Amino acid sequence: MNKVLRMFFAAEGAGKWKVLACLLLGNIVQGIGIAGLVPLIAVVSESANQEPSAAATYILDGVRTLGIEPNLEVLLLIVVGGIGAKSAINLLAMRYVGYTVADISTYMRRRLLTHLLNARWAYLSRQSLGRMAQTVNGMSVRAGQAFKLSATMLSNGLEATVYIVVGFFVSWQLSLVAMAIGLLITVSLSRFVKQARKAGKKDAGQTNELSSLLSDAFLGIKSLKAMERQADYVGLITSNISRMRKTMRQKVISKEKLTNAQEPLLVIFLAGGFYVLIEIFQMPIAQLLVMGVILQRTVKTINKLQQQYQQAAVMEGSYDILYDMVDEAAAQAEDRGGSKQPSLDQGARFENVSFAYADQDGPVLHDLTLEFPARKLSVLTGPSGAGKSTVTDLLLGFQQPASGRILVDGTPLNELDLVAWRRMIGYVPQDLMLFTESILANITLLNPHLTEEMAIEALKAAGAWDFVAGLPEGIHTQVGERGARFSGGQRQRISIARALVHQPKLLILDEVTSALDAVTEESICRMMKRLSQDITIIAISHRPSWMEVADVVHKLEKGRSVKDNEGKERKAIGEQGT
Ligand SMILES: Nc1ncnc2c1ncn2[C@@H]1O[C@H](COP(=O)(O)OP(=O)(O)OP(=O)(O)O)[C@@H](O)[C@H]1O
């Protein structure tokens, strides 16, 4: 069975059963309406001086037992009433479909997002932003649409079955011809469904690829515009766009081929069918008149079904991408560590730690031994690419050492409850990022336990309160697209406030003052020094202001710990006498 059709039964909740019940009821009512055509044949046959069929006589007698005289008006009323009621019930079914579509899209979005956010950092950091956004949003919507399509297909499938059953009841020859015609058209045109499936798969893949390229471009739009190199970038993605155009054409053409080939084939096969019914089965013309209606509706419904099947085949590509990503992200679920509750009273220690990234030739860290004493300010310094951010990633539990151990208060990091450990951490990354929200929301992330007063305290501690208080809307000011309303330094200070608001025990700052002037940097350094009486701070920097306030300086070069230039690798415990 087509994956999209399976979607109907895979949907969570009671919605699908309500839809199915309505569809069944609607089609039974329609069946009664269509069955009304059968005695109609008898009435027509009588006027043509022909014997009514056994089935017609049976139904006519049945109607008479209800005390109703089955004249032309009554029979027409049954036909119109049955078909009309089916439409009303169908509308109700489609209402439930609408609810379920919204539920499925929401559910898929949440499910994928949860799996992605809970995946290992090593996996997540390799994913394309555009691809993830497109899949969480666009593909999840398509999953909902797929449900709608599957419900419509089911409805048409039931309708075709009703026609065939009613037709069979009247004349098995008619049903046979209808089924044969439906089958012949379906088989003759099945290659267009295959073409559409192929194009749909390509289209979904290319859309995701383009989303990924576009999100990169929009992130770097300023530098492209500054150098007037947008045209170069358009050239870079032109081949992708051209390939998409080709795929779109294939999609449209295969759809049109199917739709337009169905009509002539229908006429040809119907003519053949009538020929068989008249010449071989000797069906009287009067009977054929009404039978023709059933025959034509049956085959038309089968045609519609095939068109929808083709649409479903196109959708399969998006469906595959969505489910592959859900499965992949679920398989990459992060190990949440051990059960020991973390503390940070003595400090963290790297003991002969070596580490290599999966796609790198050699190790990035070599036999590294480092101490980060509690309630001290440690600075990690060294040239670009030396491995400083990798050290903090290991401490965050984002990566695991190839050899050696990381100890927190003497307990190996992998035995600690990682969730509890990270809740103790405030982290400000190098490539910081504000959300397109208010300053307050950027700091509290709308966590109900974090109040506005706590956010103001954090802003004060981060040296940002003066400029925030001076804004007309203060802490409620919108930061603009990814913080575009503020300078790099202001963004850095808001990010520091975000890291401080939940009162962390360990604060990790990765080059956080790189965009600040010397005066502001010094004031932040002094503030961090003060904070380090209560919080363990690890700052990555090579700026003198940080060296001034540091209790410990660890210098890294090519993944190894070295003495800094003046040979003053400070040992906090020794120097501070603690
Ligand atoms: N996700 C990754 N996958 C593969 N290699 C990586 C990854 N992240 C970093 N590296 C490599 O690891 C080495 C150390 O990188 P790291 O970011 O830790 O250095 P750094 O000292 O923080 O540099 P910088 O000061 O420039 O930020 C570099 O050679 C880098 O190419």
Assess whether the C-beta atom of 49 lies below 6 angstroms from ligand 1: no
User: Are the C-beta atoms of 531 and 370 separated by less than 8 Å?
Assistant: no
Q: Where in the chain is the domain with CATH 3.40.50.300?
A: 347-576
Residue 510 carries which DSSP code? E
> For the packed helices 285-331 and 3-10, what is the interaxial angle rounded to 10 degrees?
80
Interval between CA 390 and ligand 1 midpoint (Å): 6
How far, in Å, CA of 167 to CA of 35, rounded?
9
* Residue type for position 340: K
Q: Encode pLDDT of 66-117 as tens digits.
A: 888 777 788 788 888 888 888 888 888 888 888 888 888 888 888 888 999 8
Residue 66 CB burial class (10 angstroms; 0-12, 13-18, ≥19): exposed
Q: Which CATH superfamily hosts domain 347-576?
A: P-loop containing nucleotide triphosphate hydrolases (3.40.50.300)
Burial 544-561 (b: 16+ CB within 10 A, else e): ebbbebbbbbbbbeebeb
CA-CA-CA-CA dihedral for 201, 203, 204, 210, to nearest 10: 140
Distance CA 91, CA 84 (A): 11
pLDDT at 73: 82
Do 269 and 299 form a contact (C-beta atoms < 8 A)? Answer: yes
Q: Which residue has the CA at smallest separation from atom 14 of ligand 1?
A: 387
DSSP classification of residue 377 = E
- Residue with CA at minimum distance from ligand 1 atom 27: 384
Q: For ligand 1, atom 8, name the residue with the nearest CA.
A: 390
Pairing relationship of beta strands 560-562 and 347-355 according to DSSP bridges = unpaired
3-class secondary-structure state, position 507: strand
Q: Whole-number mean pLDDT of the chain?
A: 83
Bridge partners (DSSP) of residue 560 are 557
Quote the radius of gyration of the chain (alpha carbons, Å). Answer: 35
CATH 1.20.1560.10 domain residues, the chain: 3-331
The Cα 227–Cα 385 span in angstroms is 27
Distance 406 CA to ligand 1 centre (A): 19
Global ipTM: 0.96
pLDDT in tens, the chain (578 residues): 566 667 777 777 777 888 888 888 888 888 777 777 766 766 666 655 556 666 667 777 777 888 887 777 887 888 888 888 888 888 888 888 888 888 888 888 888 889 998 998 888 888 888 888 888 887 778 777 888 888 888 888 888 888 888 777 777 777 788 788 888 888 888 888 888 888 888 888 888 788 877 877 777 776 667 676 777 777 777 777 888 888 888 888 888 888 888 888 888 887 888 788 788 878 777 667 767 777 778 888 888 888 888 888 888 888 888 888 899 999 999 888 788 999 999 999 999 999 998 877 788 999 999 999 999 999 999 998 899 999 999 999 999 999 999 999 999 999 999 989 999 999 988 777 788 889 999 999 888 889 999 999 999 988 889 889 999 999 999 988 777 788 878 888 899 999 999 889 999 999 888 767 888 788 888 889 988 999 999 999 988 999 999 999 999 998 888 865 444 444 433 344 33
Written as one letter, the residue type at 118 is: N
> How far is residue 110's CA from residue 104's CA, in Å, rounded to a whole number?
10
Ligand 1 center from residue 424 Cα (angstroms):
25
CB count in 10 Å sphere of residue 161: 14
In eight-state DSSP terms, residue 476 is G
Query: For 383-437, how does the pLDDT look when each residue is reduced to its tens digit (9 = 90+)?
Result: 988 999 999 999 999 999 999 999 999 999 999 999 899 999 999 887 777 888 8
**Are 508 and 425 within 8 A, CB to CB?**
yes
CATH topology for the 3-331 domain = ABC transporter transmembrane region fold (1.20.1560)
Distance (Å, whole) CA 179 – CA 170: 15
In the numeric block, the tokens 């039974």 are attached to 28
Report the alpha-carbon angle 544-545-551, nearest 5: 95
Residue 52 token pair: 């009514």
According to DSSP, the residues that pair with 349 across neighbouring strands are 371, 407
